[in-house]
Chain A
């Protein structure tokens, strides 16, 4: 077996006719995209459609003294100008966030971050709408902003959320996990304790398509159709019903082709609500598309954790315990999209892939005058931060002990016989076999040889580093007993219909933003029923067409909805078996399933295909006693546990001694996501995540100045990797199926985003060891690396 994904060529026209299930299959969705026939929200054109533009606050914290809209209203082709006060009259000035906080739709009392929504204009076209924004006159009374998260809880700090009754500080919540006392005991007896201040700066998912919506309210039948850039159409529908008081059955959310999500399209943003209000007010369809600076300054955002990490070990290198305190900056409104009982997301998996004696985390979350939004950017609900913390600390410990980064991990991994394994913070890892994954990464990398090369280069004064990281993720939220979003259980529905001619349609509650659901879900059904993927249509992203479920984020599609697709297929197969027994006139006990047909045991000549059965199910002939016609089924899958993919990543960097510029020369990623449905798509998911990792580790940051101005508000300032900043990825895999998932699959969409930043940072720190550097924070821009080489690396915030 090869260790890297093969480069293949094949003729794709016939590709999806393969009567197969799993395996490399070209994507069913691609023909429309390469023709420019994708249909994204901004491509929706309705007759009489108007355009909405939003006026945003230039200040981070200020009282609104007055808003004068008269000049804007007087501009020809303007249909409406709406302010916060007008929304307040309708009871719509505030909306709930996904974290049981509220967020202002349009500011009424004061603005709380730069870029906050203040008013909107509806006009005939997008240019006029923008012109009108210029004519709105807002008088602000500036207030001191809270920009430094470390000072947010100072007594003297201005109160961001003074509209909340009785609120006198910026505290949101405290949270802890693990056993403080037991951890303290372990730390007290440990030979070696290392601690480090680690910042995971604020970053932004910045999908290439910004957020937007087209709202079309039909006053006659009271129906609202909303095309919107959402990763969770069903959850959004319920929330709109609750907020706007529209009956849920009269709301249809269509999430058409989505130009990347990465978590940034999970929350409900004020712009969506404004579009709905605008359509209600004008009686016309209304489109809102944010521009890039609006996207970067007001929607999404991720991380923003200031962490103190501590790790305890014996002098022989046995890791004993990890402890951390986190200060979490949630911005002006707590808009985190995470299951309600998990205010810190799944940060609790910061114990990593190691067998510890104890672990403890305490956390305080605070309000600041920065944009709200959530835990977006492919983070698996804060696992990105957790993995970064533990993997930096383990490499920091290796540094302290003078042992190899890879070896220290190999010496401390959970063993295969320990699974299912309950961590010291209560997470039940379903399966894992870490050592072969690590060894495979080392083998692809040529690890020993790289270390020799590094030695030789060091002798010549060149700066080269090798970084290792290993992650275990917890994905596929989640069991409904523990996990809900605003009371909605995190289960997913799936419906499968097999038509008389044996073609099928499968309807999902999750939807793709590029992950290839139209292909992989057809493959899952194909594998279970033996119907060729080309004969299976995958319907998703439309609440009128699909069963209820919570959508695609947190790598949950395969773990939850993928399981649903497999199980609904098995339900159909069970019914098909009953019909087959009638057709073949044998008892069901005598029937065997061969992919695509039932045959009589011992007499395989006697068989009926699934297509024959489908025709019989809908046909005129008799069916066995008690069997209804038709061949379809529906289920709602409630996962028993999360799935726990793992992976080993190795990064090789070179640093220019003159400019301190970091080049990622090689990156090796070995992932284990259990059963592999479509290796080509998995490889693509990994590649994308690795590129995110390079961005976060070396380039990306949403920074602010002390006045609250966002310094990352355009793609000139917020740097995203291009083809020149990333290497040709080297990938490999191992397969450790999930024991509780019907097809043994685990999520993989965010693995590389989670696992790659620590590998890159560990490589840079490894490179800088001769300079006496033990830690430097992301993003490792040339200036920060230079500071580190000069012995003075500054934190980014």
Chain B
């Protein structure tokens, strides 16, 4: 069957099987490999994209049913080559390690801030609770989203700070 949808603002049309999952459509047919796939049971959230602005697990959406809708992926977060504040926040606050959960976390985080520009830490945790990160322990993800909340226009031109002196091996520090 033929499916047409807008992906990151660009209309695409492809011939697909009816059973094709949106995650595989994005990855294998469009080459948008930023969206990941990490489970068979809709538990991990590495596949989160937006469908008409709503975060969805793209492993649980048929590509066919996304026809006629707007899909946005992590590749569509940047604005003219400038990182979105949510992306900057994750870099600033070490919100990622292996990066595998990151695209999904970014999409959920951005969607949360679009609805609630100043969430509490609890609200951030609640928003990402359908997603798993095996690396970070989540605290830095919460900080990353809060960084983006605090910097709605992105990074300010502050002086970068220099090295922490705390790294110096000086025996037991206390």
List residues of A whose CB falls within 8 A of some B CB.
1, 7-15, 17-18, 20-24, 26-27, 29-40, 42-43, 45, 125-127, 206-210, 257-260, 262, 291-293, 433, 436-437, 439-440, 513-516, 672, 674-681, 683-684, 686-692, 714-716, 720, 722-724, 726, 728-729, 733-737, 743-744
Name the residue on B nearest A43 (C-beta).
Answer: B33
Name the residue on A nearest B96 (C-beta).
Answer: A33
Assembled-state Cα–Cα distance A726/B142 (Å)? 12
Instruction: List, in ascending order, chain A residues with CB within 8 A of B97's CB.
Output: 260, 514-516, 684, 688
Evaluate contact between A514 and B98: CB separation under 8 angstroms: yes
Minimum distance in angstroms from B29 CB to a CB of chain A: 10
**Interface residue from A35, A293, A724 paired with B78 (Cβ < 8 Å):** A35
Given contacts A1-B173, A12-B92, 8 further A-B contacts (CB under 8 A): A15-B160, A22-B163, A35-B83, A127-B20, A689-B137, A690-B137, A715-B44, A737-B171
Interface string of B82-104 (1 = CB under 8 A from A): 01000110111110111111110
A-B contact pairs, 24 of them (CB 8 A): A9-B147, A12-B91, A20-B162, A26-B92, A26-B94, A36-B34, A36-B77, A126-B28, A208-B36, A208-B134, A208-B135, A209-B100, A257-B99, A259-B38, A259-B98, A291-B39, A439-B174, A440-B174, A514-B98, A677-B167, A681-B94, A684-B136, A724-B125, A735-B172
Instruction: List, in ascending order, chain A residues with CB within 8 A of B28's CB.
Output: 45, 125-126
Assembled-state Cα–Cα distance A547/B28 (Å)? 34
B35 proximal to A (CB < 8 A): yes
Instruction: List, in ascending order, chain B residues with CB within 8 A of A125's CB.
Output: 28
Name the residue on B nearest A717 (C-beta).
Answer: B41
Evaluate contact between A679 and B37: CB separation under 8 angstroms: no
Minimum distance in angstroms from B160 CB to a CB of chain A: 5
Evaluate contact between A733 and B173: CB separation under 8 angstroms: yes
Instruction: List, in ascending order, chain B residues with CB within 8 A of A13's CB.
Output: 155
Given known A34-B90, A715-B43, contact A737–B36 (CB-CB < 8 A): no
Evaluate contact between A30 and B160: CB separation under 8 angstroms: no
Given known A21-B163, A688-B135, contact A260–B98 (CB-CB < 8 A): yes
Assembled-state Cα–Cα distance A692/B136 (Å)? 10
Minimum distance in angstroms from A632 CB to a CB of chain B: 27
Assembled-state Cα–Cα distance A260/B101 (Å)? 10
Q: Is the interface of B mostly helix, strand, loop or mixed?
A: loop
Assembled-state Cα–Cα distance A22/B134 (Å)? 26
Interface string of B123-134 (1 = CB under 8 A from A): 011101111111
Assembled-state Cα–Cα distance A676/B165 (Å)? 10
Instruction: List, in ascending order, chain A residues with CB within 8 A of B164's CB.
Output: 22-24, 679
Minimum distance in angstroms from B36 CB to a CB of chain A: 7
Evaluate contact between A209 and B38: CB separation under 8 angstroms: yes
Instruction: List, in ascending order, chain A residues with CB within 8 A of B37's CB.
Output: 42
For chain B, the count of residues having a C-beta within 8 Å of the partner chain is 85
Name the residue on A nearest B81 (C-beta).
Answer: A35
Q: Is the interface of A mostly helix, strand, loop or mixed?
A: loop
Evaluate contact between A18 and B94: CB separation under 8 angstroms: no
Evaluate contact between B32 and A9: CB separation under 8 angstroms: no
B118 proximal to A (CB < 8 A): no
Evaluate contact between A728 and B155: CB separation under 8 angstroms: no
Instruction: List, in ascending order, chain A residues with CB within 8 A of B101's CB.
Output: 208
Evaluate contact between B102 and A737: CB separation under 8 angstroms: no
B12 proximal to A (CB < 8 A): no
Assembled-state Cα–Cα distance A42/B159 (Å)? 39
Evaluate contact between B172 and A36: CB separation under 8 angstroms: no
B15 proximal to A (CB < 8 A): no
Assembled-state Cα–Cα distance A35/B157 (Å)? 22
Q: Enumerate B45-97 residues with CB–CB distance to A below 8 Å.
A: 46, 73-75, 77-78, 83, 87-88, 90-94, 96-97
Evaluate contact between B98 and A45: CB separation under 8 angstroms: no
Given known A27-B91, A292-B38, A734-B172, contact A726–B138 (CB-CB < 8 A): yes
Q: Enumerate B11-33 residues with CB–CB distance to A below 8 Å.
A: 17, 19-20, 24, 27-28, 31-33
Residue among A27, A34, A680, A737 facing the most chain B CB atoms (10 A cut-off) = A34
**Interface residue from B88, B94, B98, B173 paired with A257 (Cβ < 8 Å):** B98
Name the residue on B nearest A680 (C-beta).
Answer: B94
Given known A42-B33, A687-B136, contact A714–B90 (CB-CB < 8 A): no
Assembled-state Cα–Cα distance A8/B99 (Å)? 21
Assembled-state Cα–Cα distance A210/B91 (Å)? 24
Assembled-state Cα–Cα distance A57/B28 (Å)? 29
Minimum distance in angstroms from A80 CB to a CB of chain B: 21
**Interface residue from B43, B73, B163 paired with A716 (Cβ < 8 Å):** B43
Name the residue on A nearest B75 (C-beta).
Answer: A36
Instruction: List, in ascending order, chain A residues with CB within 8 A of B100's CB.
Output: 38, 40, 207-209, 259-260
B156 proximal to A (CB < 8 A): yes
Evaluate contact between A207 and B94: CB separation under 8 angstroms: no
